[in-house]
């Protein structure tokens, strides 16, 4: 969504990250005005697992967003070295879920969650980046043209050549060009967690059409899930339901189940009784 630079806030003497907006976006008055409205909402998010938005800045004809500087690799960098062990993946996943839960409570949907938008500091703290920016940077939504995916039609994404990376985490409804709500974030959370544990995409193809086809018609290769992570399979299955009505409806339920696994109160390979009413209600929709 733009170039990111390490910078110094000279007024406060603190390091910050400066994300320079793409020209096609920064010179579109309507989209810029919408982005500024979104930025004000994002700046109100205050959570230890969400990278803070400090504000907007102008300089030398450029428009930029000023954000918290997070030192550390992305999850994508970490996964590139191999699967993340189950015991290490659990606390990372819990923090991701907590970040999504806090945003969803404020009515903010990420819409582009993936390993590349999650950073991990040296102390193990997770920071989720770019909340709501996918929505803010997209063109105005078409009124009735469901053939256009909001992420894929973003000029910034098209020019940067990272459509495939984004497509791998798109929920089926996004792949069909339908509106994305918090359940799309839950799908992306499940796809990201699967990749953390296996080192491979849950849904993959050689190009965008093949990737989207896999999302719409195939299931993850569950044989790749390590035996040590079998306790997470019921959660992953629920997160990756293709019909959003049958999908996990609140990321807070994922956070609770992961917390139980971490504390040892949930038996491996089973789903806590706390979630039985939720699962029954979801099946009856």
Residues annotated as catalytic (active site), given as ranges: 112
Q: How far apart (Å, rounded) are the C-alpha atoms in residues 43 and 131?
A: 10
- Tally of residues, the chain: 285
Q: Of 66, 69, 77, 76, nearest to 2 (Cα)?
A: 66
CA–CA separation, 7 vs 13, rounded Å?
10
Instruction: Name the phi and psi angles at 4, rounded to 5.
Output: -115, 130
What is the residue-wise DSSP string for 136-189? HHSPPPPSS-TTS-TTTT-HHHHHHT-HHHHHTT--HHHHTT----HHHHHHHH
Spatial CA neighbour of 99 closest among 45, 53, 57: 45
């Amino acid at each position: 969504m733009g170039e990111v630079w390490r910078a110094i806030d000279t007024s406060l003497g603190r390091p910050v990250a400066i994300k320079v907006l793409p020209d096609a976006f920064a010179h579109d008055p309507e989209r810029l005005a919408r982005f500024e409205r979104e930025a004000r909402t994002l700046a109100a998010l205050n959570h230890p697992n969400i990278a803070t938005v400090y504000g907007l800045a102008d300089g030398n004809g450029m428009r930029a967003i000023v954000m918290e500087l997070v030192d550390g690799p992305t999850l994508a960098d970490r996964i590139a070295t191999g699967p993340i062990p189950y015991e290490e993946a659990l606390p990372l996943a819990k923090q991701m879920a907590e970040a999504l839960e806090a945003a969803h409570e404020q009515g903010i949907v990420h819409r582009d969650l993936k390993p590349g938008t999650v950073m991990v500091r040296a102390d193990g703290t997770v920071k989720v980046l770019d909340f709501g920016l996918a929505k803010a940077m997209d063109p105005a939504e078409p009124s009735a043209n469901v053939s256009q995916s909001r992420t894929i039609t973003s000029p910034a994404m098209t020019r940067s050549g990272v459509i495939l990376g984004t497509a791998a985490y798109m929920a089926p409804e996004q792949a069909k060009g339908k509106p994305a709500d918090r359940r799309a974030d839950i799908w992306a959370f499940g796809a990201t967690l699967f990749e953390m544990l296996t080192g491979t995409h849950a849904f993959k193809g050689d190009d965008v059409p093949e990737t989207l086809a896999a999302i719409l018609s195939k299931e993850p290769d569950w044989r790749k899930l390590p035996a040590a992570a079998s306790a997470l399979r019921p959660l992953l299955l629920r997160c990756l339901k293709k019909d959003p009505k049958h999908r996990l409806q609140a990321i807070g339920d994922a956070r609770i189940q992961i917390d139980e696994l971490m504390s040892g109160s949930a038996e491996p390979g089973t789903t806590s009784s706390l979630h039985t009413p939720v699962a029954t209600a979801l099946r009856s929709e």
